[in-house]
Amino acid sequence: MLSDTIILKKIQRQPKQSAGYKQLVRELGLHGDARKELSGKLEKLISAGELVKVDSDRYAIPRAATATGKNLIAGKLSLHRDGFGFVIPDL
């Protein structure tokens, strides 16, 4: 059985404290239903604030961002062709 602790430790051991979904599947040796379980666990960890989604399939430990003392907002960047954009915050 896959636990939250195993997932978090695997990501924390990465050089930038982030890992992609396929990387986690490969390194944890997951097959079949275990892959779906991983997806559910990752979403649960994001909801709990223990992980942040950095890209479409990349996950990171949020402590790296808060340790710098900067006021950061996680969200999606919406760009306009005229050169400006907006950050749509994740709620």
Share of the chain above pLDDT 70, in %: 88
| Number of domains forming the structure of the chain | 1
According to the model, what pLDDT value does residue 65 have? 52
- Does position 63 have pLDDT exceeding 80, yes or no? no
Q: Kindly report the CATH number assigned to the domain that includes residue 20.
A: 1.10.10
Residue range of the domain that includes 29? 4-89
- Does position 66 have pLDDT exceeding 70, yes or no? no
H or E segment and range at residue 77: strand 75-79
Cβ-proximal residues to 48 (8 Å cutoff; 6+ apart), any chain: none
